[in-house]
Structure 1
């Protein structure tokens, strides 16, 4: 092949119409992502974009809306135990999963019902 894949540029999740402020409260306010300005040509579509380090997450508006309950992004985390403690103090419920060898991981749902995975690989 003359082409190659380099990395994932971004992940997009769907949200219902008018949910941008809720997305900001969750992804920016709770999880600490920074909001990224959408290009002017895409602003009319609604939604909001976020970034944490090299991770870009786009929340797009979908009508009718159906959350991603199985398909999900997985975020690598340093110090998953601290994330679990933080989520607990904020009243965010998570589900632990030990089925992936050499990894600790949890799942949460965003305010729209989209599944999010957070994992830390063990050395």
Structure 2
């Protein structure tokens, strides 16, 4: 048996799917997946990439939405500098922290809903 994480789910407010697409699809370059019909009626969106076997993020609608300002996924990203440049060009703040974890390049940003995301260069 193998172990790993199949996906990470982040909460978004009701109706947030359209605001999510420019960030998750255009800036991050993730591909939106078709949700199973039984789950599609709940709203939200699923994304995968980069590539067919990359990370999978699920955005789930939460009625009393509050952004995750501290809790966050740590996502490995091959082109960390390119992603940081795209985020900044899109108006998203990038906060680098290459000192806290010796030998690791990483930064934090927030999605359009205020959810914290961490991106790290592969070790």
Q: TM-score, normalised by structure 2?
A: 0.89
> In the alignment, is residue 38 of structure 1 matched against residue 7 of structure 2?
no
- Quote the offset at 1:85 in angstroms: 2.5
> What's 2:95 paired with?
95
Task: Between 66-75 and 113-122, report the one with greater CA deviation.
Answer: 113-122
How many residues matched?
119
- Quote the offset at 1:91 in angstroms: 2.7
- Quote the offset at 1:121 in angstroms: 4.2
Q: C-alpha offsets along residues 64-87 of structure 1, whole Å, 9 cap, x if unaligned?
A: 001111110111111322222232
Task: Flag as ranges the 4+ runs of structure 1 deviating above 4 A.
Answer: none
Aligned 8 A contact 2:9 2:60 in 1: yes
Quick one: which of 17, 21, 25 aligns to 2:22? 25
Q: How far apart are the structure 2 equivalents of 1:87 and 1:118?
A: 12
Q: Where does structure 1 lack aligned partners over 5 or more consecutive residues? A: none
> In the alignment, is residue 84 of structure 1 matched against residue 84 of structure 2?
yes
Q: C-alpha offsets along residues 36-70 of structure 1, whole Å, 9 cap, x if unaligned?
A: 00000111111000000331100000010011111
> What's 1:8 paired with?
5
SS in 1 for 2:85: helix
> In the alignment, is residue 117 of structure 1 matched against residue 114 of structure 2?
no
- Quote the offset at 1:29 in angstroms: 1.7
Change (3 A) 1:31 1:121: closer
SS in 1 for 2:105: strand
Q: TM-score, normalised by structure 1?
A: 0.89
Q: Where does structure 2 lack aligned partners over 5 or more consecutive residues? A: none
> What's 1:108 paired with?
109
- Quote the offset at 1:30 in angstroms: 1.6
